[in-house]
Structure 1
Amino acid sequence: MKENDWFVMRPRKAQAYGRLTGDGFLVREGSTAMREGSPGVKRDREERDRLVRQGVLVPDSDPDLYRFSRDHLFGSSSAAGGIVKDGNCSGPQSWRRPSDGKSIKDVLR
């Protein structure tokens, strides 16, 4: 796998692009995230609210979405996916390469 391989995640209306880096998982500016995703307890809600306060996530033209105002580095693909989905997420299984549909987990095998 090349370091510049981008993966996509599309939960409901959101569409986000990210890639693995030596320091974590980078989500690309312009990607979108659900404002209200799956119901129930959300382990990443505090982090999501912090990103909104910091201006990393801003309201999108679609009222159901936030948009990343700049690239943002997360500690893992799961943490990034939880923010994008607004719910618990297995990043290695949820982020997929657009060229062939393979998940991060499949690519790293």
Structure 2
Amino acid sequence: MSKKDWFVMRPQKAQAYGRPEADGFLVHKGSTAMRDGSPSVKRDREERDRLVRQGILVPDSDPDLYRFSCDHLFSSSSAAGGVIRDGNCSGPQSWRRPSDNKTLKDASE
């Protein structure tokens, strides 16, 4: 896939790149995720903590962020977004394609 096929999500200080795959949503190595996002409801916190234990999410040079040490496939764009944002997330509405600013939802219609 070309660079234009990647979508971006930028919650607070984090910046992550991802794209739909046949069996889920792939987040690109080097993307960042919030260590402690502002939403109070954190449905994906358990998944985020598991990724930290497995070394997939590692501390970033910015103490507010984690960084993906490798590409990681999530079950959905919302699951990926929830981990990156550290709070509930509607992936289809949160991921945007930089080339035309379309959301994942709009781009798939």
The normalised TM-score by structure 1 is: 0.95
1:41-85 deviations in whole A, cap 9, x for unaligned? 211000000000000000000000000000000000000000000
Identity %: 79
Aligned length: 107
Q: Which residue of 2 aligns with 1:108?
A: 108
Alignment partner of 1:61: what SS?
coil
Q: Which residue of 1 aligns with 2:21?
A: 21
Q: What is the alpha-carbon distance in structure 2 between the residues aligned to residue 84 and residue 41 of structure 1?
A: 14
| Greater mean deviation of Cα atoms: 61-70 or 38-47 | 38-47
Q: What is the alpha-carbon distance in structure 2 between the residues aligned to residue 108 and residue 52 of structure 1?
A: 31
Q: Which residue of 2 aligns with 1:36?
A: 36
Unmatched 5+ residue regions in structure 1? none
Query: Structure 1's 72 and 11: CA in aligned 2 closer, same or farther, altered over 3 A?
Result: same
Runs of 4+ in 1 over 2 A off after TM superposition: none
- Opposite residue 76 of structure 1, the aligned amino acid is S
RMSD: 0.9
Alignment partner of 1:36: what SS?
coil
**1:75 and 2:65 aligned:** no
Q: What is the alpha-carbon distance in structure 1 between the residues aligned to residue 89 and residue 9 of structure 2?
A: 11
- Opposite residue 72 of structure 2, the aligned amino acid is H
1:81-109 deviations in whole A, cap 9, x for unaligned? 00000000000000000101100100111
